[in-house]
Structure 1
Amino acid sequence: MNLSPAERRAGITVAIFCIAAAALAFGLTLPLLGLLMERDGWSRSAIGLSSAMAPLAILMVSQFMPRLVARFGAKRVILIAALSDAVLLILLKITDDYYLWLPIRFLMGIAISALFVTSESWINEVTENHNRGRVMAIYNIMLSAGFASGPLILVVVGIEGWAPFAAGAIVMMLASLPMIFAKVADPPFEGTASFSVWRYFLVAPTLAGAMLLFAIVENGSTSLLAVYGVRNGLPEGEAVTLISAVVFGGMVMALPVGWLADRMDRIRLLVMLAFMTTAMAILIPWTIADPVWRLVVLFAWGAAASSIYTVAMALQGERFKGADLVTANAAFGTIYGIGSLAGPLVIGGAMDYDDPHGFAWTIIIICAGFLVFTVIRQSMKRG
């Protein structure tokens, strides 16, 4: 795309603002609905099924997003998705029924898939390669900040009445405003994709593995890390800080890693991060009883795991353009859906089998597996 630096900055800023707002609304919705169902006496299995609707939708529909973007354009897809999510949030409150919430949350997952696939494609398409790592780091920071800020809204407005639902809907409507009023170029994503979403696993297996690792680690840690802490004898308040250490590590180290990604071979950096993720995972069971070292290790583990996503996104934009880029990001969405569903199930099953350290052993195996695969893959390519 022939864009001026100012046009590129405007496009990147608008897309990042939109996805950060969507993350904030999503981060609000997850605990809100879980708490409301808990209050109404629904079982944890029922709550888990409801929470799985959005990842299930992401898994099922991400592969169709390239067709939507090609037909309607990136800006229109983002607008429709953001406004649809706002309407669906209001519909959750109007219906206030568990069984109706299931299809509504599935539809919200479709909107979320459209927002993420299209926004990530937009950002990578208009970003130049020399600063792609830093831009993707900023994107990752804003995404994490959005997810982390969502629950804070509930601290202010509570979970009762219309206030939390209205707050989420307002945030989503605000997310659409820059797309309506800001003068930004709509990336055309020209050409026809040379591969399908499912063939992406063969086209870019290292990047597919990186996204799967990130999805499993992110969803496994947020779902079960606090439980792992409690089962190791920590009070609930201290167990929650384990998640904070992981999230904070990812946010703090995003920009330094993004800077490195613009100054060294990105595949080599990915291997280094995979090694660090594995090493820190090995230390988790050995440091969980120490109040200082467990936070240090989890901070470093979260930093490395989150940075794998940053570097993978930079590699994605470096390698793919146009229609191929949208398809590659749709594949990322599909892989994220797989990891989101499989991660908590596999790790939770391992914890039931080996209480409490099944969490750590599973994470170690997954991280080490990605490290070995990446090293072998790159060695074969050099040969």
Structure 2
Amino acid sequence: MIQAALARRERVVGVTVAISSIAVAAMALGLTFPLIGLILEGEGWSRTAIGVNSAMAPLAILITAQFIPLWVNRLGAKKVILAAVLTDVVLLVALKAFQNYYIWLPIRFVMGVAVAALFVTSESWINQVTENHNRGRVMALYNTVLSAAFASGPLLIWVVGVDGWTPFVAGAAIMAAAALPMAFVPVVAPVFEGRPSFSVWRYLWIAPTLAGAMLLYAMIENGSTALMAVFGRRSGLPDAEAVTLISAVVFGGMVFAFPVGWLADRMDRIKLLVILAAAATFLIVLLPGLMDSRPARLLDLFLWGGAAASIYTVAMAIQGERFSGADLVTANAAFGTLYGFGALAGPMVLGASMDYHDPEGFVWAMVAICGTFTVFTIVRQRLKRG
């Protein structure tokens, strides 16, 4: 009984430390990403140039996530997380020390490598030490805290501004604080035993439904962040009102995370994934007809954001249920690779669709993305049962 209680306490401490570290790091990144965009815009760079600069991080994730299982195997999860945090601290200072568009390209690429290592390892840590009966709720808690941390980062710009060393030093200090829970709280780091039985690319064949869910989530998250406000403006909304569309989506994701996580611990998780994807498809179809009513469009996007963001929560719960040890790290590295691809592809697909049919092309591309995953998952499950 004492051993069971001790094991349970170690799991709670382990999850708390991992979530605390990643949340503080997310706050620093939430400050840094818009800060760089504002500085480049102020220097007169085009939106295309700013987009290329911003693409360095997801490009790095896409290319290097497959190597993270090797790093974790050789160094251990705790050392990888601390090394990733330290790397980002140094590079945040380097951004100001070498304030030049072309130098920022490789700096942001290496930052992307560190961010990939940080997130893949932390998420593997959380999933490894979480018991299956409450995995959905723990992943929901993680995603809620992470979303709140990312959202709070841009608000710090109101305090530190965008000029001089202050915002960069603030970002580096916050990032350094992410190492404190991991470095000073006594915690038993999970050991990811064994060698992975598959590669990152083989994962696509082993778990195509989960791979599709992650790709869907990445395309939705990054596409809506990049172009939802543009869609609002093109639909005739003033800029201040167009920005509220993004807020409704983010708020919906935060509010629905825990209820959906609770459901994920009480019903078949694949079925729940299908329900969420179908709901996301249906709700985004309704959006064009609701744009003339402020309450209706915000409610629709609130519900859509809840359904879309919860796909990630449920997919992570299924991931932890299905994989463990070295296979879990490899599966999460595959998630990182897919996220990097989706983060690059989402804005491009939605942007091209809007260029073809402005502004409704945004909605129809979202319908195609969500609907394709829904149909694919339903057909795959029926074939498996057959």
TM-score of the two chains, using structure 1 as the length reference: 0.99
Contact preservation (8 Å) 1:62, 1:330? yes
1:236 partner amino acid: D
Which residue in the other structure is 1:241 paired with? 244
Which residue in the other structure is 1:284 paired with? 287
Q: Choose which of 56, 62, 68 in structure 1 pairs with 2:65.
A: 62
Question: Is there any run of 5+ residues in structure 1 with no aligned partner, and where?
Answer: none
Contact preservation (8 Å) 1:54, 1:106? yes
Which residue in the other structure is 1:250 paired with? 253
RMSD: 1.0
Which residue in the other structure is 1:41 paired with? 44
SS in 1 for 2:88: helix
Which residue in the other structure is 1:157 paired with? 160
Contact preservation (8 Å) 1:220, 1:343? yes
1:101 paired with 2:136, answer no
Q: State the 1:78 CA deviation.
A: 0.1
Deviations 1:73-118 (A, max 9, x none): 0000000000110110000000111110000000100000000000
**Paired residues for 1:106-145 under 5 Å:** 106-145=109-148
**Paired residues for 1:248-327 under 5 Å:** 248-327=251-330
Q: Choose which of 21, 31, 36 in structure 1 pairs with 2:34.
A: 31
Q: Choose which of 230, 235, 238 in structure 2 pairs with 1:232.
A: 235
TM-score of the two chains, using structure 2 as the length reference: 0.98
CA distance in 1, matches of 2:286, 2:26: 31
**Paired residues for 1:160-239 under 5 Å:** 160-239=163-242
CA distance in 2, matches of 1:286, 1:62: 41
Deviations 1:23-55 (A, max 9, x none): 111111111000000111111111000000000
Q: Choose which of 357, 366, 376 in structure 2 pairs with 1:354.
A: 357
Identity level (%): 66
**Paired residues for 1:75-90 under 5 Å:** 75-90=78-93
Deviations 1:352-371 (A, max 9, x none): 11011110000001100000
CA distance in 2, matches of 1:52, 1:117: 19
Q: State the 1:162 CA deviation.
A: 1.1
Q: Choose which of 355, 365, 369 in structure 1 pairs with 2:368.
A: 365
CA distance in 2, matches of 1:163, 1:80: 24
Q: Choose which of 10, 14, 22 in structure 2 pairs with 1:11.
A: 14
Deviations 1:238-281 (A, max 9, x none): 00000000000000010000111111111111111111111111
2:272 partner amino acid: L
CA distance in 2, matches of 1:371, 1:248: 23
CA distance in 1, matches of 2:377, 2:124: 24
CA distance in 1, matches of 2:384, 2:370: 21
Q: State the 1:21 CA deviation.
A: 1.3
**Over 6 Å off, 4+ runs:** none
Q: State the 1:163 CA deviation.
A: 1.2
Q: Which moved more, 1:174-183 or 1:321-330?
A: 174-183
Contact preservation (8 Å) 1:232, 1:289? no
Q: State the 1:289 CA deviation.
A: 2.1
Q: How many equivalent residue pairs?
A: 383
Deviations 1:44-76 (A, max 9, x none): 111000000000000000000000000000000
Which residue in the other structure is 1:336 paired with? 339
1:248 partner amino acid: F
Q: State the 1:335 CA deviation.
A: 0.2
CA distance in 2, matches of 1:293, 1:214: 24
Which residue in the other structure is 1:380 paired with? 383
CA distance in 1, matches of 2:21, 2:13: 12
CA distance in 2, matches of 1:283, 1:155: 35
CA distance in 1, matches of 2:90, 2:290: 46
Deviations 1:127-161 (A, max 9, x none): 00010000000000011111101100001111111
Q: State the 1:330 CA deviation.
A: 0.0
Deviations 1:307-339 (A, max 9, x none): 000000000000000000000000000000000
SS in 1 for 2:156: helix
Q: Which moved more, 1:362-371 or 1:15-24?
A: 15-24
Q: State the 1:286 CA deviation.
A: 1.4
Deviations 1:155-207 (A, max 9, x none): 11111111111111111111001111111111110011111000111000000
2:106 partner amino acid: P
CA distance in 1, matches of 2:292, 2:150: 28
CA distance in 2, matches of 1:275, 1:349: 24
